[in-house]
């Protein structure tokens, strides 16, 4: 069965799909250790729950008979609520006028390198353009495998900064 790109709002009440999205999030994350269940939930909210709650119209899933990947986005990166859970955003505020939106994407490990991530980014870009958003960015590690993925998709603006001694690569794309 081939992958379909489905707006999150069409499937947001399906508990099985929500659980599959959550599983991909935790499986893809480099953070594996949590102090307690509350710490784990805070991490989920920071990079996924916040977006599904506040920007459900900017989320898509790729699925065949199960979820293969997802993308979430925020059309603005400036809000106090977002800055308080993601303080590293403040380091890059000077670039938000040109690249106001940002996204987070993950694919199931068996579904990587098959073009699904590219389709998900295309869906979110289309959604942002329809809302007249002029640019989007991502943040990753300077040596991450996914850097090449974003470069191929046209994220051609790069800035590297340290946040608490960890290097963060900001990559922007004009829409
Ligand atoms: C990054 C990711 C979303 C890309 O989606 P995808 O469907 O695998 O990508 P596509 O098939 O559309 O594009 C292929 C490109 O993705 C990158 N890629 C492929 N497998 C990857 C992997 N396991 N991890 C990271 N990047 C990968 C490569 O640059 C690849 O290009 P190449 O085939 O010329 O080497 C997906 O690989 C993934 O979920 N990776 C792990 C989590 C991650 O890095 N998330 C992004 C956090 S910023």
Q: Tens of pLDDT along 70-127?
A: 999 999 999 888 999 999 999 999 999 999 999 999 999 999 999 999 999 999 999 9
- Report the CATH number at residue 82: 3.40.630.30
Q: Residue 135 pairs with which residues in a beta bridge?
A: 174
pLDDT at 69 over 80: yes
The rounded Å distance from CA 111 to ligand 1 centre is 9
Provide the number of structural domains found in the chain: 1
Q: Is 153 in the pocket of ligand 1 (CB under 6 A)?
A: no
Total-model pTM: 0.96
160 CB near ligand 1 (under 6 Å):
no
Q: Is the CB of 106 under 6 A from ligand 1?
A: yes
Q: How far apart are the first and last CA of the chain?
A: 32
Q: Average pLDDT of 27-50?
A: 96
User: Among 12-21, 28-37, 79-88, which is the least confidently predicted range?
Assistant: 79-88
> How far apart are the C-alpha atoms of 25 and 69, rounded to whole Å?
9
Using a 6 Å cutoff on CB, does residue 138 contact ligand 1?
A: yes
With contact defined as beta carbons under 8 Å apart, do 158 and 149 qualify?
A: no
Q: What is the DSSP letter of 104?
A: E
Please give the Cα distance from 42 to 90 (Å, whole number): 19
Residue 2's pLDDT band, with cuts at 50, 70 and 90, is confident
Supply 11's token pair.
């499937």
For the record, the structure tokens of 7 come out as 């707006």
For residue 22, the enclosing domain spans 4-174
How is residue 53 written in tokens? 């709650």
Query: In this prediction, what percent of the chain has a pLDDT beyond 90?
Result: 95
Q: Is 49 exposed, middle or buried (0-12, 13-18, 19+ CB in 10 A)?
A: middle
């Amino acid at each position: 069965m081939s992958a379909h790109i489905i707006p999150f709002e069409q499937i947001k009440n399906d508990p099985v799909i929500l659980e599959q999205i959550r599983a991909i999030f935790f499986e893809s994350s480099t953070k594996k250790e949590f102090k307690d269940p509350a710490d784990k939930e805070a991490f989920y909210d920071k990079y996924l729950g916040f977006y599904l709650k506040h920007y459900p119209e900017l989320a898509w899933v790729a699925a065949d008979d199960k979820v293969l990947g997802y993308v979430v986005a925020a059309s603005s990166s400036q809000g106090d609520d977002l800055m308080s859970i993601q303080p590293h955003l403040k380091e890059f505020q000077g670039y938000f006028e040109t690249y106001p939106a940002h996204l987070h994407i993950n694919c199931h490990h068996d579904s990587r390198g098959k073009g699904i991530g590219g389709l998900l980014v295309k869906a979110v870009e289309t959604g942002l353009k329809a809302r007249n958003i002029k640019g989007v960015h991502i943040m990753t590690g300077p040596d991450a495998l996914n850097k090449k993925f974003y470069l191929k998709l046209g994220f051609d603006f790069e800035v590297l900064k340290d946040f608490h001694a960890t290097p963060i690569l900001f990559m922007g794309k004009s829409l």
